[in-house]
Structure 1
Amino acid sequence: TILPAIILLFIAFPSLRLLYLLDEINEPLITLKTIGHQWYWSYEYSDFMNIEFDSYMIPMNELKLNNFRLLEVDNRVILPMNTQIRILVTAADVIHSWTIPALGVKIDGTPGRLNQTNFFMNRPGLFYGQCSEICGANHSFMPIVIESIPTKFFIKWIMNYSNSLDDWKQVMGL
């Protein structure tokens, strides 16, 4: 009984070291908070003047000719390429799962809990995903679209979004 215990310890110590190395998250330049709702996603860019928006699936009768059915959204997540990105995922009501297969990202959103992971996009383009947790009747209508763009265009997008938000607040008297 001593020999199996020694063998297990011999295997366990290097494994623990590797687990801690794998869990280390690189210093992200951008943090995106994602909140799952029945049946849409909310996004918050808290690094940039608290930009927030909801993302709903576009109904079939409003799709354009080149859109994908059940995958297009009204507000895409815009992120810069060649940048380390941290995503924080939670849920407001039931368990959701934010999944982008092309990026190898799948993270559960649980009410009352904030999960995090990081990823890196090395090319521009559109990345499609969906909620991959059965979260209710309209579970299949929770698409995710990430648009990866060069950093200089991302900065312009952030500036334009912030300016239009300021204009809206001024009109509303906030």
Structure 2
Amino acid sequence: PILFKQLEIPEPDLTIKATGNQWYWNYEYPDNEFSFDSILLPREDLQASGYTDDLYLLATDTALVVPVGAVVRMQMTGADVIHSWTVPAFGVKMDAVPGRLNETWFEVDRPGVYFGQCSELCGKDHAFMPITVKALEPADYEAWLNWAIDEYGGTRGENVAAAE
């Protein structure tokens, strides 16, 4: 029974699908019909992107963005081999397996930038597959969402709700 309880996902405010690829993540916001790739930020680009040098191997060129206080349902799959989407600050680690869609959830309680990594040995560049999540206040998230819809060619879905 306790294992079953861990798998119960509350009604989500936002659904994001993460697809592991050798050696980057693709994030899809299905309610808004857009997606983007998130790739390791080269060492020489860290400072220009607002990161310190010690965040090499953790920072990505494009972060996953979520609203603070929202229940985020994460769906994971793999495009090629098994990957594992892991963000320790959220207590989340879920395998991304080709041909399978796994689900988990998290809720971020304060704004910030959070880091994780692929936690399944997935090939020669496994160590270069970081995860960056930016948690924004709901109003800032809405502004980012409007920008992302324009940038990535998405739409305004009817099931998009930032936590109030």
For the criterion TM > 0.5, the same-fold answer is yes
Structure with more relative contact order (C-alpha pairs < 8 Å, separation 6 or more): 2
Mean Cα displacement is larger for which, 132-141 or 156-165? 156-165
Task: Specify the code of the residue in structure 2 equivalent to 1:149.
Answer: L
Q: For the residues of structure 2 that align with 1:164 and 1:61, how far apart are their CA atoms?
A: 25
Q: What are structure 1's unaligned runs of at least 5 residues?
A: 1-15, 167-174
Q: 2:35 aligns with which of 52, 56, 61?
A: 52
Q: 2:22 aligns with which of 38, 52, 56?
A: 38
Alignment deviations for residues 124-167 of structure 1 (CA, whole Å, 9 cap, x no partner): 0011000010000000000000000011111111112212345x
Structure 2 match to 1:66? 52
- The structure that is helix-richer by fraction is 1
Q: CA deviation at 1:19?
A: 4.1
Question: Please, what TM-score do these two structures have when normalized by structure 2?
Answer: 0.86
CA separation of 1:98 and 1:151: change in aligned 2, threshold 3 A: same
Change (3 A) 1:151 1:137: same
TM-score, scaled to structure 1: 0.81
Cα displacement string for residues 69-99 of structure 1 (whole angstroms, at most 9, x for unaligned residues)? 1111110011000011100000000000000
Return the letter of the residue paired with 1:94.
Answer: V
Structure 1 residue ranges, 4+ long, deviating more than 3 angstroms after superposition: 18-22
Counterpart amino acid of 1:47?
A: D
Tell me how large the CA RMSD over aligned residues is.
1.4
Residues 1-174 of structure 1 mapped to structure 2, 5 A cutoff: 16=1, 18-48=2-32, 50-64=33-47, 66-67=52-53, 68-166=55-153
Aligned residue number for residue 158 of structure 2: none
User: Structure 1 residues 20 and 133 mapped into 2: Cα distance closer, same or farther (>3 Å)?
Assistant: closer
- Aligned twin of 1:171: none
- Identical-residue share of aligned pairs (%): 43
Stretches of structure 2 that go unaligned for 5 or more consecutive residues are 154-164
